[in-house]
Amino acid sequence: MVREIVTYPNEILQKPTERVDEIDDEVRQLIKDMFETMYSAEGVGLAANQVGVSLSIMVIDTTIKEDAPDIKLVLINPEIIKAEGKVRFKEGCLSFPGLSVEVERFERVQLKAIDEEGKERVYDLEGFPAIVFQHELDHLKGITFLDRLTAWRRRLALEKYRKLQREAQKV
């Protein structure tokens, strides 16, 4: 089932999500719905709080991005173990329709997370999938890409976003 994507400034995007203790049917259904919702919006990553559920779960699928490795992951309670390198990339966000901002991220990350079967796993990501992961991890911590900008660039981005929203309402 495709769920509604929560857009900024909804408060759920600005508070940290809860850790998942048990992977039950509800969580499995949520994960399924998150993939469907992400695909229908042509996104490459989605955090659970973006569909209004404050749990530490993200899905990633970079298959639609042509020049990036095809990585499909479900990450529950993810944490960074190691990170290195710096890269700047113009990111979009399904919770900020139409807005894209350049953000600095680590180039490579090693992370641990629980998979859908409840097993703890370690992943090494590099380049685009690593950027997507860090963007979604921020969501799970209640951080949006605006919080990664300097005060001045943040103000410009917010102005642009508000303008985009006003234009969208007119249609």
Nearer to Zn ion, 23 or 93 (CB): 93
Active site residue 91: no
Nearer to Zn ion, 93 or 140 (CB): 93
Which of these segments, 14-22, 56-64, 75-83, 87-95, binds Zn ion (CB under 5 A)? 87-95
- Torsion, CA 102, CA 108, CA 114, CA 120, rounded to 10: -170
- Among 22, 117, 136, 167, the active-site one is 136
- Give min distance, CB of 93 to Zn ion, in A: 3
Alpha-carbon gap, residue 85 to 110, rounded angstroms: 12
Nearer to Zn ion, 60 or 113 (CB): 60
- Give min distance, CB of 136 to Zn ion, in A: 7
Q: 33-59 burial, b if ≥16 CB within 10 A, otherwise e?
A: bbbebbbeeebbbbbbbbbebebbbbb
- Give min distance, CB of 151 to Zn ion, in A: 20
Alpha-carbon gap, residue 1 to 64, rounded angstroms: 20
Residue among 5, 30, 75, 93 that touches Zn ion (CB under 5 A): 93
Nearer to Zn ion, 23 or 55 (CB): 55
Which of these segments, 34-42, 64-72, 77-85, 86-94, binds Zn ion (CB under 5 A)? 86-94
Which residues are within 8 A (CB) of 167 and not within 5 positions of it... i.e. 6 or more apart?
Answer: none
Helix or strand (DSSP H, E) at 160:
helix 151-170
Closest by CA to 57, choosing from 82, 85, 87, 37, is 37
Which of these segments, 3-11, 68-76, 85-93, 103-111, binds Zn ion (CB under 5 A)? 85-93
**If binding means CB under 5 A, how many residues of this protein chain bind Zn ion?**
1
Closest by CA to 134, choosing from 90, 79, 85, 95, is 79
Query: Could you list the active site residues?
Result: 136
Binding site residues, Zn ion, CB under 5 A:
93
